[in-house]
Amino acid sequence: MRRWLWPSILLALLIAYPLVLSTPFQQRLGALVLLYAITASAWNIVGGYAGQVSVGHVVFFGCGAYAAMGAYTHFGLSPLVGIPAGILLAVAIAALIGVPTLRLSGHYFSMATIAVAELVRLIVTNTTYLGAAVGLSGPTVPRSVFDLSFISSLPYYYLFLAILAITLLITWWMTNSRMGFYLRAIRDSERAARSLGAPASRTKLYAFMLSAGLTSVPGALYAMMFGFVDPESGLGILISVKILIMAALGGAGLLFGPLVGAAILVPLEEISNSRFGGNGAGLTFVVYGAIIVLIARFQPGGILTLLNRLWARWKKPAAAKAPQQGAAHAP
């Protein structure tokens, strides 16, 4: 039961947050933190657990966003209907990228994901059916609750919290399944894992497809919350960057790493944007770049790994001291 203690406390805190800090700004900030936490947690499955660094994950985010808005614009349906379509599309694209590149060294995979993201962005920008550079909009006036268009951020907050919980549960279940063990073995040494019979390429591909499908859901939610999607907000490379850095800062390959990263970076960005205006956007990404470089250089495991190590060091002297004192008193 002990291992459920901390997640339960965390969940209670997250449920209480928008009720305690209840200004519209704080509630919106909370909702955004959760949204990015969902996205980064989904990335974490392939980037953290499988160790395959996707730099074009925004393409799956965009699948969800465009499917949701497309369902409304072209078929007059609730954006919710677009979610399954977005998931299928994302999984199909992931298979298309993953099959050839996951057999090669990890660099090819990263380069291919960048190229696919840019390719899709360029194609969408030049496709009138998908709104070209202007993008697609959702319903301006909600027709029913199923349009998921609310003025307050509070409904979004709890919706996102539920989706985050589901995403983390799927991740947790995956790490404890056969697939999770394969992934850990592959990440440590692909050659060793292969020689012991772990189907490396196939396992990485499944992880990528799972991650892609899960990433499209927050894309759809994002589009519903903001009421529109355009190539920049739905397919821009900077969203890939944010996803990547949040997971890496918190701790890639750790269940709660992306949530920690999002909880640090989203407020940072919102504050810098509101403080410095348009110029802040440039400065924010200078800081982001610096943070990524520093993580890579000094602490590739992220903040949670650092905290775990400090925690262990803090506990160890105490544990080591106790028997010594005992020994001193023994004779």
When the beta carbons of 12 and 290 are compared against other proteins, the nearer one is 290
Site for other proteins in 112-131 (CB under 8 A): 112, 114-116, 118-119, 122-123, 126
The yes or no reply on residue 177 touching other proteins (CB under 8 A) is no
The yes or no reply on residue 192 touching other proteins (CB under 8 A) is no
Are 219 and 61 contacting, i.e. CB atoms less than 8 angstroms apart?
A: yes
SS3 content of the chain, % helix, strand, coil (to 5): 80, 0, 20
Closest CA to 219 of 78, 77, 51, 40: 40
When the beta carbons of 12 and 296 are compared against other proteins, the nearer one is 296
Q: How many CB atoms lie within 10 A of CB 137?
A: 16
Are 133 and 125 contacting, i.e. CB atoms less than 8 angstroms apart?
A: yes
When the beta carbons of 232 and 270 are compared against other proteins, the nearer one is 232
Closest CA to 208 of 317, 327, 45: 45
Selected from 13, 16, 104, 134, the binder of other proteins by CB under 8 A is: 104
Residues 131-150, one symbol each (x = binds other proteins by CB under 8 A, - = not), give --------------------
Separation of alpha carbons 51 and 239, rounded Å: 20
Residues 11-50, one symbol each (x = binds other proteins by CB under 8 A, - = not), give ------------------------------------xx--
Q: How many CB atoms lie within 10 A of CB 328?
A: 8
- Provide the minimum distance between the beta carbon of 271 and other proteins in the complex, in angstroms, as a whole number: 17
The H or E element that residue 23 is part of is none
Are 229 and 62 contacting, i.e. CB atoms less than 8 angstroms apart?
A: yes
- Provide the minimum distance between the beta carbon of 128 and other proteins in the complex, in angstroms, as a whole number: 13
Are 58 and 236 contacting, i.e. CB atoms less than 8 angstroms apart?
A: yes
When the beta carbons of 300 and 323 are compared against other proteins, the nearer one is 300
Binding site for other proteins (CB under 8 A): 47-48, 51, 53, 55, 97, 100-101, 104-108, 110-112, 114-116, 118-119, 122-123, 126, 237, 241, 244-245, 248, 252, 279, 282-286, 288-297, 300
